[in-house]
Structure formats: structure tokens, C-alpha cells
């Protein structure tokens, strides 16, 4: 197996290409966000366009000028709306004047995203001359450090889509070469009004159909592994859309915490879970022994069809006790993370939008960017690739 195949799955490449094509983002920006070499992403985009028969659109000079003007106006409106959203917290009476001034200064230093100083001062109720006087004072070294670190904290928090608490933000700062004590990060996040999304009460989705006695529990709540591809867990969860439910089946690797296989559909038939299992087998072809796949005793997992698929893929089934959700806690935990960090914060008008958004979260956020405390604050892709690098070098 080549290192490229081991590092980037077809699903990851597809989501990366969609970031460029569907959102019209520069290749360099997407590559930087995902830790890719720009030329690699350029090649993926070119291959996609060749396979789909896409060509370059011909635009007149007038068309291009009109588009440029519209884009400029959109940026202005977005900047005003963005600042209005950010200033909501500081409009409260108990917020100190210094906090309002710091917000304006923070936005002033990012002119591409900010409204004018006059507009910002009007929004938060600050005299413009007072702001200029405060800004032009000599900033102490401590205050400057605090400002710089708060800026990095905001970036780490924003990059996580507002999901990171102070511990993960602190870990991200350390990865950027700016280590800061957890409690200091916590204090600065509170001062900046940065509050991560909070999970809803956990409701296990374990089903209780038949209970085949010949499928044992080989995991015994030990959701760790010595290497990728030797122990997987899986589950099904439900995602609400305006058109009805979408069902997600997942396969998670116990070593890297990575979602190695998944499938989304508007049904919960057996082919949903077999598709997820087959994707996991494709994404981890380096498995050196029979893989254990652990699940609850839902009817799709106890079906003869799923059992045949597992046997064909050299996978040994494992199941927890009937109705005991803790026996599959790691898979249930991922479902909670997905709902908390993405689905519960997003409205899905269509099933197609939900399918695309969840796939994007798995490939580009959870596997590629999200730091895990159980992995020493590395991402699942980093943990998997580190093992592959050691294995190939051995």
C-alpha cells in the first residue's frame, strides 16, 4: 500500500474537492486548513473536473467587473452583520468599557472582516474620540501578550466551529508553539465571551430485538486497541430533517478514534450497516488479523446478511448485552459528539443537505481536525498516520 492511499481515503478527497468547487474557495486556503500540499489538492480538483466534463466558463470584462463589485458589497454587508453578532454580548450594561474597546480594536486589526470604526463605536455605544485615545496609549507588555493570546484563542475556538472548551483550546495553542496554562485560557475565554456548545442529556439508542446466544461480547467495555484495524465499534443514529429522518451507520477504530466507515440513507435496512462495514474494510486494507467488530444487538447487526458480510471480510462479530447501552459506550459517545457539535446546531431542509453536511463533518472536521484527549490531543488521522509511518519504517 502506498503512503498516499493510507493517508487519504476517497471520501476525504471528495469532501476536500467539494470545499473548493461547491464553496468557490481558493485551493491554497482549503489545502492549508486540511494540512494538504496545494498541488495535491489541485490535482484532485483537476481530476474531478475531467471526470465530470467541466470546463472553464467564459466571462466578459463587464461580467467580471460586475461580479467584483457585487462581491465587494457582499463583503461590506457581511462585515457589518458579523460585528453586530459579535457585539451582542458587550451591549449588556455590566460589561466593562475596556471589553467594548478591546472588541473594536480586535476587529480593527482584521479590516477584511470589520465594519468601520465609526460604525463599530456607534453599535457598542462608545465615543469615537475615547476609543482613539485608549487605542493610542502605550500598551504594556502584559496587556499586549493578553491581546495576542486572546486573538489566538479566538482563532482556535472559531476553527473548531465553537465546539472547543478551554482544555482543547489550550492544546491547540501548544500545537501552534504558544503554550498557555489551562486556567489562563479558561479565564481569557470567559472574558472574551467564548462559550462552547453544550451537549444535551444523553439518550441511548440501543435497540432490543432478538438475542443470538452465539455472538459473544469480545470487548467487555475495553474500547482501546494496540493498532489500527484490529478492533472496531459501530452503531446507528438518527438525524432529523424537514423531509423526515436520515439514518447514519458508523464504524469507529478503537486505536485512532477515527470514523473509518459510515453510510447515510433514508432507511435503516441491513444494507445501511453492511455498506459502512465494507467502507471500513476498504479504508484499512492493512489489517493483519481478524478484526473484531462490536455493536449492540439491533436486528440489522444480528441479521444473517450482516453476518455473511462480516465473515466475507474476515471480521469477527462481538455484541454487548441486550439493552445495556454502556456495553457499546464508545459508539454511543460518538453519536453524542456528532449531535452536540453539528446536528443539533444545524437546520436541515432536505435529506440531501443532511447527508452532505454529516459526511463533511466526519471527513473534514472530526477525522482531520478535532483534537482528542485520549490521543494526547492529536486528531484521529494523525494518530493513524503516526502508526502507519512507524509500521512502514519497521
Q: Could you tell me the end-to-end alpha-carbon distance of the chain, in angstroms, rounded to an integer?
A: 15
Q: Does some domain include residue 56?
A: no
Same domain, 362 and 277: yes
3-state secondary structure of 324: coil
Check whether 206 has a pLDDT greater than 50: no
Same domain, 372 and 257: yes
The three grid cell numbers given for residue 49, joined into one nine-digit string: 473536473
The residue among 112, 136, 160 that closes a domain is 136
The three grid cell numbers given for residue 376, joined into one nine-digit string: 494526547
Same domain, 309 and 237: yes
pLDDT confidence of residue 63: 67
Q: Does some domain include residue 226?
A: no
Same domain, 131 and 151: no
Q: Give the highest mean pLDDT range of 27-36, 271-280, 291-300.
A: 271-280
pLDDT confidence of residue 171: 92
Q: Where are the beta strands (DSSP E) in the chain?
A: 231-241, 244-253, 259-265, 291-295, 315-319
Same domain, 385 and 238: yes
Check whether 95 has a pLDDT greater than 80: no
Same domain, 177 and 259: no
pLDDT confidence of residue 316: 94
Among 157, 158, 164, CA closest to 371: 164
The three grid cell numbers given for residue 261, joined into one nine-digit string: 466507515
Q: Is 95 exposed, middle or buried (0-12, 13-18, 19+ CB in 10 A)?
A: middle
Check whether 162 has a pLDDT greater than 70: yes
Which residues, in sequence order, are CB contacts of 241 under 8 Å at separation 6+?
348, 349, 350, 351, 353, 354
Same domain, 77 and 18: no
Contact 317, 298 (CB under 8 A): no
Same domain, 19 and 127: no
DSSP string, 310-330: HHHTTEEEEE--TT-GGGGHH
Same domain, 43 and 92: no
Q: Does some domain include residue 256?
A: yes
Mean pLDDT of 106-125: 75
3-state secondary structure of 372: strand
pLDDT confidence of residue 260: 96
d(CA 291, CA 268): 24
Q: Does some domain include residue 318?
A: yes
CATH number at residue 359: 3.30.420.10
Which residues, in sequence order, are CB contacts of 384 under 8 Å at separation 6+?
228, 253, 255, 256, 258
d(CA 261, CA 259): 6
The DSSP bridge pattern shows strands 231-241 and 244-253 to be antiparallel
Q: Does some domain include residue 79?
A: yes
Across the chain, what does the average pLDDT equal?
Answer: 84
Tell me the per-residue pLDDT of 349-373, one tens digit each, with 9 for 90 and over: 999 999 999 999 999 999 999 999 8
3-state secondary structure of 46: helix
pTM over 0.85: no
Same domain, 310 and 329: yes
Q: Does some domain include residue 323?
A: yes
Same domain, 45 and 153: no
Find the domain containing 250 and state its range.
231-393
Q: Does some domain include residue 159?
A: yes
Q: Does some domain include residue 215?
A: no
pLDDT confidence of residue 65: 73
Same domain, 243 and 341: yes
Domain count, the chain: 4
pLDDT confidence of residue 86: 61
Hunting for cell 470487548 — which residue is that?
Answer: 219
Amino acid at each position: 500500500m502506498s503512503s498516499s492511499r493510507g493517508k487519504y481515503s476517497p471520501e476525504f478527497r471528495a469532501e476536500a474537492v467539494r470545499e473548493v468547487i461547491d464553496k468557490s474557495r481558493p485551493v491554497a486556503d482549503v489545502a492549508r486548513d486540511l494540512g494538504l500540499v496545494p498541488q495535491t489538492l489541485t490535482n484532485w480538483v483537476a481530476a474531478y473536473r475531467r471526470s465530470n466534463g467541466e470546463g472553464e466558463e467564459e466571462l466578459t470584462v463587464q461580467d467580471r467587473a460586475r461580479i467584483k463589485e457585487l462581491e465587494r458589497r457582499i463583503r461590506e454587508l457581511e462585515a457589518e452583520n458579523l460585528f453586530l453578532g459579535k457585539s451582542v454580548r458587550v451591549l449588556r450594561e455590566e460589561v466593562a468599557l475596556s471589553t467594548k474597546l478591546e472588541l473594536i480594536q480586535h476587529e480593527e486589526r482584521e479590516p477584511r472582516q470589520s465594519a468601520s470604526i465609526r460604525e463599530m463605536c456607534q453599535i457598542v455605544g462608545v465615543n469615537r474620540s475615547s476609543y482613539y485615545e485608549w487605542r493610542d496609549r502605550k500598551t504594556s507588555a502584559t496587556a499586549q501578550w493578553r491581546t495576542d493570546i486572546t486573538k489566538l484563542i479566538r482563532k482556535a475556538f472559531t476553527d473548531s466551529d465553537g465546539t472547543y472548551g478551554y482544555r482543547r483550546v489550550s492544546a491547540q495553542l501548544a500545537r501552534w508553539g504558544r503554550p498557555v496554562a489551562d486556567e489562563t485560557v479558561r479565564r481569557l475565554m470567559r472574558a472574551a465571551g467564548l462559550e462552547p456548545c453544550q451537549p444535551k442529556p444523553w439518550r441511548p439508542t440501543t435497540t432490543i430485538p432478538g438475542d443470538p446466544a452465539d455472538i459473544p461480547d469480545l470487548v467487555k467495555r475495553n474500547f482501546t486497541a494496540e493498532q489500527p484495524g484490529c478492533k472496531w465499534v459501530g452503531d446507528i443514529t438518527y438525524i432529523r430533517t424537514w423531509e423526515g429522518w436520515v439514518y447514519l451507520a458508523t464504524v469507529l477504530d478503537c486505536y485512532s478514534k477515527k470514523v473509518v466507515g459510515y453510510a447515510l440513507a433514508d432507511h435503516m435496512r441491513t444494507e445501511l450497516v453492511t455498506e459502512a462495514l465494507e467502507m471500513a474494510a476498504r479504508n484499512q486494507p492493512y489489517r493483519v488479523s481478524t478484526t473484531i467488530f462490536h455493536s449492540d444487538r439491533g436486528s440489522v447487526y444480528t441479521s444473517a446478511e450482516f453476518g455473511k458480510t462480516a465473515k466475507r471480510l474476515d471480521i469477527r462479530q462481538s455484541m454487548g448485552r441486550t439493552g445495556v447501552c454502556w456495553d457499546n459506550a464508545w459508539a454511543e459517545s460518538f453519536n453524542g459528539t456528532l449531535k452536540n457539535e453539528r446536528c443539533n446546531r444545524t437546520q436541515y431542509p432536505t435529506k440531501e443537505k443532511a447527508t452532505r453536511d454529516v459526511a463533511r463533518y466526519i471527513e473534514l472536521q472530526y477525522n482531520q481536525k478535532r483534537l482528542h484527549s485520549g490521543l494526547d490531543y492529536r486528531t484521529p488521522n494523525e494518530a493513524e498516520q503516526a502508526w502507519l509511518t512507524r509500521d512502514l519504517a519497521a
